C-alpha cells in the first residue's frame, strides 16, 4: 500500500480545472473501474450527476443514504432515476430506525451536539459501513453552492472512507446546472419547485426565502451553528494534510508516475 495525501493532489487538481464533468468521470472510470461509485442525495446536482452517468453507460453504482426520515419526494426521485436512467442505485440505511434511535438516545436533532450525533448515526455511519468496497466516490459538490463548498477541490482525500472523493461538477455554476437540467429534461426532486434549495431529512429541512442563503433551510431550528452533516469530508475542517492508503500501482497511476524501486 502507498500513502496518498491531499498535498500530493495539488498538481492534478490544478490540471483538472480545465476538464469538463464528462472528462473527469471518464478519467475516474479509467482509473478506478468498478472500485468507483457515485454518491447522491437525490438533490438537483446529484440528479445531474446521475444523468451524466446514465449517458456514459459505465454501469457504476450510485449510493444513496436513506436516513429513514427522508421526504417521500426524495425516495420517489431515487426510484424514478434508478428506473428511467437504468442506474444501479444502492440504498444504505442506518442500523436503528428513527423510532429505535429516539427510544435509546432521545430526540437528538433538537440540539447542535445531538444533530452531529444523529447525522453521524443516520448518514455518515451507513456510508462508512461500505468502506473498503470503493477506492473513489463521485460526488456532486459545486463551488457555486457557497459556504465551505466555495473552495471545494475536484479531488479530495476522504480519510473516513479511505478513498478519493471526486467532484466532477465542482466548477459548474448555477446557470450551467439549470441549463443542463432544462436541455436534458433531467429528473429532479419536486421539492426544489416548492422552495427547497437543498434537501435532506424531513426533520431538519425547510424551504428558503428568495433572499436567503441556499443552506438557510438546513437545521433552521438550531440557528447558524449547524450547516453541514459531515458526510462530505471537505465540508468539515480537515486535518492539515489528510491521507489515505491505496495500492502502490494505483497511487502511481493516479499521480502519473512510475516508482523506481532501485532508487
Q: Cα separation of 69 and 40, whole Å? A: 16
Residue 201 annotated among the catalytic residues of the structure: no
Q: Does 41 bind ligand SF4 (CB under 6 A)?
A: no
Q: Cα separation of 43 and 49, whole Å? A: 10
What is the size of the binding site for ligand SF4 (CB under 6 A)? 13
State in angstroms the smallest separation of the CB of 252 from ligand SF4. Answer: 38
The contacts of residue 72 (CB under 8 Å, 6+ apart) are none
Q: Does 69 bind ligand SF4 (CB under 6 A)?
A: yes
Q: Cα separation of 33 and 48, whole Å? A: 21
The contacts of residue 50 (CB under 8 Å, 6+ apart) are 38, 40, 62, 81, 85, 87, 187
Q: Does 109 bind ligand SF4 (CB under 6 A)?
A: yes
**Footprint of ligand SF4 on residues 158-217 (CB under 6 A)?**
200-201, 203-204
Q: Does 220 bind ligand SF4 (CB under 6 A)?
A: no
- Write down the catalytic residue from 50, 119, 204, 229: 229
**Does residue 163 contact residue 137 with C-beta atoms inside 8 Å?**
yes
**What is the 8-class DSSP label of residue 237?**
-
State in angstroms the smallest separation of the CB of 106 from ligand SF4. Answer: 12
State in angstroms the smallest separation of the CB of 67 from ligand SF4. Answer: 5
167 vs 200, beta carbon nearer ligand SF4: 200
State in angstroms the smallest separation of the CB of 203 from ligand SF4. Answer: 4
Cell numbers standing for residue 261: 524501486
Q: Does 118 bind ligand SF4 (CB under 6 A)?
A: yes
Choose, by CB under 6 A, the member of 43, 115, 140, 198 that binds ligand SF4: 115
Active-site amino acid positions: 229
Amino acid at each position: 500500500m502507498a500513502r496518498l495525501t491531499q498535498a500530493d493532489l495539488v498538481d492534478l487538481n490544478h490540471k483538472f480545472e480545465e476538464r469538463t464533468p464528462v472528462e473527469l468521470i471518464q478519467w475516474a472510470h479509467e482509473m478506478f473501474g468498478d472500485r468507483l461509485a457515485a454518491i447522491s442525495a437525490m438533490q438537483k446536482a446529484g440528479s445531474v450527476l446521475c444523468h451524466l452517468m446514465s449517458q456514459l453507460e459505465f454501469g457504476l453504482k450510485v449510493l444513496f443514504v436513506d436516513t429513514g426520515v427522508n421526504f417521500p419526494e426524495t425516495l420517489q426521485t431515487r426510484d424514478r432515476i434508478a428506473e428511467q436512467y437504468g442506474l444501479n442505485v444502492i440504498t444504505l440505511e442506518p442500523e436503528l430506525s428513527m423510532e429505535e434511535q429516539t427510544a435509546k438516545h432521545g430526540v437528538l436533532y433538537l440540539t447542535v451536539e445531538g444533530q452531529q450525533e444523529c447525522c453521524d448515526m443516520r448518514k455518515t455511519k451507513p456510508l462508512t459501513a461500505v468502506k473498503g468496497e470503493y477506492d473513489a466516490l463521485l460526488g456532486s459538490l459545486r463551488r457555486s453552492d457557497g459556504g465551505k463548498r466555495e473552495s471545494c477541490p475536484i479531488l479530495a482525500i476522504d480519510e473516513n472512507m479511505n478513498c478519493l472523493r471526486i467532484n466532477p461538477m465542482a466548477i459548474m455554476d448555477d446557470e450551467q446546472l439549470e441549463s443542463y437540467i432544462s436541455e436534458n429534461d433531467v429528473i429532479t426532486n419536486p421539492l426544489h419547485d416548492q422552495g427547497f434549495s437543498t434537501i435532506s431529512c424531513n426533520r431538519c429541512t425547510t424551504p428558503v426565502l428568495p433572499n436567503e442563503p441556499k443552506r438557510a433551510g438546513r437545521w433552521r431550528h438550531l440557528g447558524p451553528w449547524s450547516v453541514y452533516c459531515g458526510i462530505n469530508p471537505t465540508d468539515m475542517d480537515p486535518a492539515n494534510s489528510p491521507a489515505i492508503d491505496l495500492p502502490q500501482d494505483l497511487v502511481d497511476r493516479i499521480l502519473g508516475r512510475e516508482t523506481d524501486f532501485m532508487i
